[in-house]
Structure 1
C-alpha cells in the first residue's frame, strides 16, 4: 500500500512521525528540565539566604538576651540601692524628729 506520489508506505510515515514526535517530546523534556534546574538553583540560593538570615537573627537574639540579663542585674542593683537609701532617709527622719522633739522640750524648760 503506497500513498500516491510520496514514495513511502503509510506505515513508514506513521513510524517517522512517531519518531519525530518522540524527539520533540525529548527536546521539550530537556527544556523543562533545564528550567526546573534553574528554579532549583534559585531556591537553593534563597534557602542559603534564609539560613544566613536565621543565623544572624539567632545571634541577635543571643545578644539581646545577654543585654537583657545585664539590664536586669543593673535594675535589681538599683532597686537595692533605692531600698538602702529609703531606709537611711527613714532613719535620718526619725533622728531629725527626735532632735526636734528634744529641742522643743528644751525650749519649754527654758
Structure 2
C-alpha cells in the first residue's frame, strides 16, 4: 500500500486567525454545554496533536478537494465524528496552511 507522502522534510505549520477564532468559539460552546475542563482539554490536545503532525507528514489526511468543490488541493483532519479542520499543503513555500475548525453538521466551508 502506497502512502501519500510529500518529500521528506519539515513543513512550517501556519494557523490562520480563523483557526484560533473558531477553536476559541468552540471551547465556549463546549463550556456552555457543560463539558468538563478535562474533556475540553482532551479535545484541544487531540486537535493540536493532529495539526502539529502536519509538519512532518502533511499528506496524512484525506484530500477532499473534489468532495467539497475546492479549486486548490485541500485536506481534511477529522476530529471525532463531529468536527473537522481543513488545510492546504504549499510545497513551494514549505508550509501547511491550517483553516478554521468546523462542525461537520453545519458545513458551510470557505477556505
**Which TM-score applies when normalising by structure 2?**
0.21
Q: Whose relative contact order is higher, 1 or 2, with alpha carbons under 8 Å and at least 6 apart?
A: 2
**Which TM-score applies when normalising by structure 1?**
0.21
Q: Greater helix percent: which structure?
A: 1
Q: Greater strand percent: which structure?
A: 2
For the pair shown, the structure with the greater C-alpha radius of gyration is: 1
